[in-house]
Amino acid sequence: MQIAIITGEASGDRVGAQLAAEILRLRPDAEIWGTGGPFSKAAEVEVVVDSSRFGAIGMAAGLRLLPKILRARRFLHRELLRRKPDLLIPVDAGAFNLGFGPIVGLCPWTRQHLPATKIFYYFPPASWRRTLKATTLNTVADAVATPFPWNETELRRLGVNVRFVGHPLLDLVRPSETTESFAERYGLNRDRPVVGLLPGSRAQEIAEILPLQLEAAAIIHKRVPGVQFLVALAPTVDRDDIVRTVEKLRERGGAHLADLLHRVEERLRGEGGTGLRPQRVRPLAVTPQGALLPPPGKQDDFASRTRAQLAQSEGQRGDGKDFALAIVENATYDVMAASDVLLTASGTATLEAAILGKPMVILYRLSQDNWLEYQLIKNRLPEHIGLPNLLAGKRICPELVQDAATPEALAAEVIGLLLEPDRLLRMREDLRAAVVLLGEPGGAARAAEMAMDLLKGTGERSDGAVGS
């Protein structure tokens, strides 16, 4: 059995690899190849194109990346014609898989040139949107598995053979070690608040969002000096991009940032990249959903402890010498689990944080290259950009976008959460309620069964009946 899985950037690589592992569990004889990155390789997928860094934000960055993507597209055309897979599984990456403008996507191309190849779309593009005006999935996909229940309703309305299977992150989002072990590894004082900084996984995000987070951290440190900071670096982040970002910020930031950023830069240039012991990679242990939240009887203790921590340090003034910051690589879920509040870029990380029940402040800012583009589209953006808020249909977590995302505003939101533990606890409860909407764990396993049923000719039709 020949199966081609086509994923885009890092998040697609992760869920595509998860699906590949489930397919191999059902059909160990399957030969799976396609695009991906380190997660796909670890799942025994033959990666013929590394697409883990294909993510781009805005038209300007997309145009810079376009020649590389077109070369990959031509190569995949040749491989598809040569290998003639039984099944093509596109994962998200709508521009590449469905096409845009005059560019024909991989799915319609496959439908035209390899009519015998079944197409099973996993994680359809824009599946988080509550309403859809149109889709091409009804003409290019034989079956679709979606992670959001409302997307099933919308796609069925548009004539798509689709099933809600549950969100794959419910099985993936687990720290690799206990919070106690992680705290010991990085020297965290568990009697002090911890703020996690998640700048994103793309080079553009590092350049635009990390400086805002570091400046906000400096403000928080001055006002509440007992706070500790963890910077989570995604596997796709280039260390040189981090160093350049910190250097530029230190040059333009003035004296109030000089000492703090000097320490950050020292860690980046130190042995192992951070001056810290390298993070071990361990298998992710599956625990019951919500198990990481404090049990109801412990919540009052949590609030009292947080108030006491902040009362000890409030009113003091932090300096560069006592700025507690650790840079953590390839352990984002451990950073999330160890943090009391997260300051995170909008994207998949917000949903991962919600699954772990972690309160957060969500931000996003596009570069000046995308300023005009943002002005043109901002009135068409949904009411919420953070996935937890989209899930809940209301503003659970603060969102600061573009000009509103200033270091002062970000710091004020984080400090507000730290100084109001009851608000922080309410946010945790609201997040837990939102995550219930993602369904039950096992989404990738159900999607793999759908894919195998499609090949056997027993897939569900768009009218809900079972085909013969």
Any domain includes 461: no
Domain count along the chain: 2
Instruction: Give the C-alpha distances (Å, rounded to integers) separating 240 from 244, 247, 273, 397.
Output: 6, 10, 10, 32
Burial 53-78 (b: 16+ CB within 10 A, else e): bbbbbbebbeeeeeeebeebbeebee
Digit-coded pLDDT (tens) for 204-235: 788 888 889 988 998 898 888 788 999 898 87
pLDDT over threshold 70, residue 148: yes
Return the pLDDT at 301.
56
What is the residue type of 405?
A
- Coil, strand or helix at 467: coil
Q: Identify whether residues 330 and 417 lie together within a single domain.
A: yes
Any domain includes 468: no
Would you state the structure tokens that stand for residue 24, as one six-digit string?
């191999």
Q: How wide is the angle at C-alpha 324 spanned by C-alphas 190 and 187, nearest 5°?
A: 45
User: How many Å apart are CA 19 and CA 454, to the nearest integer?
Assistant: 15
Partners of 99 in beta bridges: 104
Q: Identify whether residues 331 and 197 lie together within a single domain.
A: yes
Partners of 195 in beta bridges: 229, 341
Q: Identify whether residues 163 and 238 lie together within a single domain.
A: no
263, 323 in Cβ contact below 8 A? yes
| Average pLDDT of span 90-114 | 91
Q: Identify whether residues 236 and 269 lie together within a single domain.
A: yes
CA end-to-end distance (rounded Å), the chain: 21
Digit-coded pLDDT (tens) for 175-186: 999 999 998 888
Domain span at residue 230? 176-438
Q: How wide is the angle at C-alpha 193 spanned by C-alphas 187 and 198, nearest 5°?
A: 80
User: How many Å apart are CA 254 and CA 243, to the nearest integer?
Assistant: 17
Between strands 228-233 and 324-329, the pairing is parallel
pTM: 0.81
Digit-coded pLDDT (tens) for 345-388: 998 999 999 999 999 999 988 766 555 655 566 666 667 779 99
Any domain includes 134: yes
Any domain includes 109: yes
Q: Identify whether residues 10 and 152 lie together within a single domain.
A: yes
Q: Identify whether residues 409 and 449 lie together within a single domain.
A: no
Least confident of 9-13, 49-53, 61-65, 152-156: 61-65
- Coil, strand or helix at 49: strand
User: How many Å apart are CA 388 and CA 395, to the nearest integer?
Assistant: 8
Would you state the structure tokens that stand for residue 276, as one six-digit string?
């810290």
CATH number of domain containing 158: 3.40.50.2000
The residue that leads in pLDDT, 203 or 451, is 451
